Chain A
């Protein structure tokens, strides 16, 4: 059995998005319930969050942006950069705690106390651009994590594997010219699904040319095409890149029962995908793997998806 961390902090429930909004606190309690009811809580190391040093947020987002988000919260505004991004007075603090909890988790991995971890955080992050909140995201958690690994722990090469059904436009934008962070994403075809980026011809630029890779899934497709594309695109990409740590943007919204998009990945399909990523982490990174929650909105499926996810990290 592996030493697996599980980041979950009840303060993540305090980010309120208003009634009927899909990015709701119940998503996290559903995931937690699935993990708790299958007896996995006793097998993982529980992690709660600390407020991070703002310098780590500033490694991705300009101070000006951070201050404007804080001010909007203090003013009691209910949306930020468009109606998708509903918020409350706690949103800024919760968003900080999401990033902060992830950094705490990375410390435990890098100091050798843990092998891998699942960070069940809210709000999500992969759509957030340095200066722009988008798609329910305020701080780009996974980008902050990658920069932290590099600056705090001296890691040279970080791979980000994004399995959310939507393309992580923010993450891609942040690293598109950077050859030290490989960004791989598999998602629904951008002509149909938000945000409309992540086409196959987006492959990075300048020094980062060849360090971005997008796999496209046509609406209606599921398990079979995921297997095919991960073997065809992700495996050779990581063989070439040889990351020292793998970070995963875990979105459960490619599930067939999730109506935010049109893909048909099953619960078993998700398990296969995660095992494949674990196998790659074993091959290249001595198992060092940190999964960070992005989307996933089907409250009926989230318990089993969260449970399997943690079970696979534990070595199942």
Chain B
């Protein structure tokens, strides 16, 4: 799926010459942590985060939150003084998959989407990706999840889909993952039905192993060093 289908099109933006007081108010009222910075013609020139705004305040003790001193100081600072200029962006040809990998790589909360001329057309936040994931998994719709163990051979998933089709059960989504057992794959069909008893029996009759959910996990989700449990 292309990011243009999942992104938010109505983007709150600021200008480089806007002051930090207004920018902070905008973040608060829209409950957002990042705002793209645009110039004439909606050209993206930076992004400003609530962290950037805070960095303009050298001492939180001296400039007590909500004080007149703080207000004056924030009003004096411009967006251009603290914004990030080298923005990581998505293009119109990037996909949700690209966005997932980028967010994982850079540990950021949102990606502006720009067209070929560098004009801002949308923003893809983690929330938009979560929505896309719920939709892809089909879990917003009623259904039952099965997990079958199959040989890691061409055509095995097709056989499973065929059996489900014979039982006239609509498939919401189907996920295929590597399994810890060599030469095996785990197939997770999400079925849009309550009526899975006879289907399970049929799979067993045909020699498939229905995995105990206790044994399910995704084997090779990459983790950074810090995330990895020792």
**Residues of A bordering B, CB below 8 Å:** 20-22, 82-84, 127, 134-136, 166, 169, 189, 191-197, 218-220, 258-260, 262, 297
CB atoms of A197 and B145 under 8 A apart: no
Chain B residues contacting A192 (CB-CB under 8 Å) are 144-145, 213
Residue of B whose beta carbon sits closest to that of A169: B142
CB atoms of B194 and A166 under 8 A apart: yes
CB atoms of B192 and A82 under 8 A apart: yes
User: Is the contact region of chain A dominated by helix, strand, or loop, or is it mixed?
Assistant: loop
Known: A196-B143, A196-B144. 19 other contacts (CB 8 A): A21-B195, A22-B195, A83-B168, A83-B169, A83-B193, A84-B194, A127-B142, A136-B194, A136-B195, A169-B142, A189-B213, A191-B213, A194-B142, A194-B194, A218-B214, A219-B213, A258-B197, A262-B213, A297-B197
Task: Answer yes or no: B196 CB below 8 A from chain A CBs.
Answer: yes
Q: A192-B213, A220-B214 are in contact. Are A260 and B142 (CB under 8 A)?
A: no
Inter-chain CA distance A83–B192, complex, in Å, is 10
Chain A proximity mask over B201-216: 1 for CB below 8 Å, otherwise 0 = 1000000000011100
Residue of B whose beta carbon sits closest to that of A17: B195
Residue of A whose beta carbon sits closest to that of B204: A259
Q: A196-B139, A197-B142, A219-B212 are in contact. Are A259 and B200 (CB under 8 A)?
A: yes
Q: A134-B142, A135-B142, A194-B142 are in contact. Are A127 and B194 (CB under 8 A)?
A: yes
Number of interface residues of B (CB under 8 A): 21
Chain A residues contacting B60 (CB-CB under 8 Å) are none
Inter-chain CA distance A262–B145, complex, in Å, is 11
Residue of A whose beta carbon sits closest to that of B138: A196
Task: Answer yes or no: B198 CB below 8 A from chain A CBs.
Answer: yes
Task: Answer yes or no: B109 CB below 8 A from chain A CBs.
Answer: no
CB atoms of A260 and B196 under 8 A apart: yes
Chain A residues contacting B168 (CB-CB under 8 Å) are 83
Chain A proximity mask over B127-161: 1 for CB below 8 Å, otherwise 0 = 00000000000010111110000000000000000
CB atoms of B194 and A83 under 8 A apart: no
CB atoms of B145 and A191 under 8 A apart: yes
Chain A residues contacting B194 (CB-CB under 8 Å) are 84, 127, 134-136, 166, 194-195, 260
Chain B residues contacting A262 (CB-CB under 8 Å) are 213
Closest Cβ–Cβ distance, residue B136 to chain A (whole Å): 15
Inter-chain CA distance A191–B192, complex, in Å, is 13
CB atoms of A219 and B144 under 8 A apart: no
Inter-chain CA distance A259–B193, complex, in Å, is 14
Q: A82-B192, A194-B194 are in contact. Are A220 and B212 (CB under 8 A)?
A: yes
CB atoms of B142 and A219 under 8 A apart: no
Chain A proximity mask over B157-183: 1 for CB below 8 Å, otherwise 0 = 000000000001110000000000000
Chain A residues contacting B169 (CB-CB under 8 Å) are 83
Residue of A whose beta carbon sits closest to that of B141: A196
- The 11 listed contacts between A and B (C-beta, < 8 Å) are A82-B170, A82-B192, A83-B170, A83-B193, A134-B194, A189-B213, A191-B145, A193-B144, A196-B143, A219-B212, A260-B197
